[in-house]
Amino acid sequence: MISVRDLRKQFGSTAAVDGLSFEVSRGEVLGFLGPNGAGKTTTIRVLTCFHPATSGEVRVGGFDVRTQAIEVRRCIGYLPENVPLYPDLRVDEYLHYRAALKGVPRKQRKSNVERAMERAGVLEVRNKLVGHVSRGYRQRTGLADALVANPPILILDEPTSGLDPNQRRRIKQLVKDLAQEHTILFSSHILAEVQDVTSRIVVIHRGRLRADGTAADLIAKGSSRTLRVEAHADAETLRRALVPIRGLSAPRTTDLGDGTTLLLAAIEQQGDLRDAVAQALAAAGVRVRELRVELPTLEEYFYSVTEGADRSEEGVA
């Protein structure tokens, strides 16, 4: 449904997007991740025909954004980051206006608006001026606008930014429900919700693709599992006790101050090492307070391909 090939967008001498390529298949929910300034919004604006690409080929719903902009815009429901609305219109007036602008036939307009309001959960504020509703309702009104023409593709640019946890939860649930009928590109930098809502994740940084895959794949590609041991022993005893265990590397110890020491070590082999570690510590006479394996997170992976990668490059330079 969305195909981006070697996209480049330049503002003056600055390349906001630099040779980006990715695809989104029909029915997929793609998490579009990146730190602030990574080029997410610029890419989205090219997809929605708000900005022209400097070079590259972008097709949405099978249409070229350069030569078939009207057709592209017809198959997209777009929720921009700041949800710009007209404060002097009532919520249902605004949605009727947007439905008419998007070419929804007069006969279907009322039912489309009702359905969009119901799905986005704005029925209770339908008669209120847009300028008088809360941030959460504004966000949902914007979402109802994206849904009102029932387009096959939804592009949601940070739909949960500035919302409280309850509102975020509702939007997340709504996106999950919408995923059954629409192809969705969901941009955010809140990793937990992207992991929860999307079927695939694309990470961009400095306008370039840094990762593409399912959340599980990306986590697996990232940092290794970590063994965490808190025990009543000094650092040296603890290290010596774990020497026989194969597959542990780079142990780091911290004195916790109450006669206990914390040891963290990377696990470099498959399988559960906890039994072996427990036996080794018992054999060395070390009394254990806590023993567990910490799994890597998407956050760590995100850091490693964005800011972490920058630091490594700077270090090499």
Partner 1 sequence: MNGTLVTLKKELMSYFYSPVSYLIAVLFYLWRGYEVRSTVRAFAVYQLDQDLLPSACFGLTSTFFMVLLVPGVLTMRCFAEERRSGSIETLLTAPIRDVEVVLGKWLAAVAFYSLLWLPTVLLMWVLTLPPFLDTHLEFGPVFTSYCGMFLLSSMLLAYGCFASSLTDNLLLAAIVAILFNLGLLKLPELLRQELGATAQEPLVEQVLSKLDVMGNFGQWWARGLVDTSQIWFYLGGTMFFLFLTVLSFGARRVA
Instruction: Kindly list the residues in this chain that would bind partner 1 in the complex (CB under 8 A).
Output: 45, 48-52, 70-71, 73-74, 76, 78, 80, 82, 84-89, 93, 97-98, 100-103, 145
For the CB of residue 45, give the shortest distance to partner 1 in the complex, in Å: 8
Q: How far is the CB of 54 from partner 1 (least distance, A)?
A: 10
With b meaning 16 or more CB within 10 Å and e meaning fewer, what string describes 235-252? eebbeebbeebeebeebe
Residue 142 or residue 222: which is nearer to partner 1 going by CB?
A: 142
**Rounded least distance, CB 101 to partner 1, Å:** 5
Task: Answer for the pair 205, 34: CB distance below 8 angstroms, yes or no.
Answer: yes
Least Å distance, CB 98 to partner 1, is: 7
User: Is residue 77 classed as helix, strand or coil in its secondary structure?
Assistant: strand
Strand order in the sheet with 225-232: 248-255, 261-267, 225-232, 287-294
Q: For partner 1, which is the closer residue by CB, 139 or 195?
A: 139
Residue 82 vs residues 139, 158, 161: alpha-carbon distances, Å? 9, 9, 9
Question: Judged by CB, which is closer to partner 1: 74, or 240?
Answer: 74
CA distance 287 to 290: 9
Instruction: For partner 1, give the closer residue by CB, 50 or 303.
Output: 50
The two counts, helices (H) then strands (E), for the chain are 12, 14
- Identify which of residues 97 and 303 has a Cβ nearer to partner 1 in the complex: 97
Shortest separation between residue 71's beta carbon and partner 1, angstroms:
8
For residue 201, give the 3-state DSSP assignment.
Answer: strand
